Amino acid sequence: MDSDFRQAYLLHRRPYSDSQILLDVLVEGIGQIKMLARVKGKQSLKHNAQLRPFSKLLLQYAGRYDFKYLNRFEPSDDQVNLVGTQLYCGLYLNELTQKVVPVNEPLEQVYELYRHHLARLAKEIDVEPILRSYELQLLTELGFGVELEFDAEGETIKPNKAYKFIAEYGFVAVGQELDTFDGSVLLAMAQQVYEDIAVRRAAKQLTRKLMSPLIGKQGLKSRELFISKK
């Protein structure tokens, strides 16, 4: 049965056969889906021109199994143009999403989360708060989020205390040790206030720690590309 037309973003594309390409697509109200698109003759010109990262699409697909088949698509009027640093950050958003969001699992809010942060990348110069915000909220949507306002015992995080993060447990108040987070920093992260450099560093350290098991040992190519371009 064919789907209704749905809004979607292309995260990644690669050849699948001589006449097909494999698409990783983030679909509104659904989540990530893998689709096969036929590319023959004049069709290939349209696919190459319009199936691009960061372009919002209206698409219709069919299929009952893991791979769906793209039947029809059109670019929407709402397009995002990224250049420079914003482009590399957009590539990071795409690869991260494609890697950690499970395929064919109903994660309805991930599309809107991605759309919102992609739009911010196109408008804002300061990209680091956007990346940290997306990472932390994406982890929450995937069920791997952390509570930043309460410790593992349910006590309110205190600004003047230091906390150690224990995987699958939470934050525990400790003395001044290595690899700890100041309570004031955790509370700032909870409110998504990233003006302070200490908050940015702590947020990056925490999201790397939480994302690592989901990404795997191979890491992210977009992260390496971004570092090489600095």
Hey, where are the domains in the chain?
6-79, 84-229
The C-alpha atoms of residue 69 and residue 202 are separated, in whole angstroms, by 43
The C-alpha atoms of residue 199 and residue 206 are separated, in whole angstroms, by 10
CATH topology of domain 6-79: OB fold (Dihydrolipoamide Acetyltransferase, E2P) (2.40.50)
Q: In this structure, are residues 74 and 57 in contact, taking their beta carbons and an 8 Å threshold?
A: yes
Q: What is the pLDDT of residues 60-108, one digit of tens each?
A: 999 877 788 998 888 877 778 899 999 999 999 999 999 999 998 889 8
Give CATH for domain 84-229. Answer: 1.20.1440.120
Q: In this structure, are residues 109 and 97 in contact, taking their beta carbons and an 8 Å threshold?
A: no
Average predicted confidence (pLDDT) for the chain = 88
Return the pLDDT at 171: 96
Lowest-pLDDT choice from 3-17, 32-46, 196-210: 32-46
3-state secondary structure of 159: coil
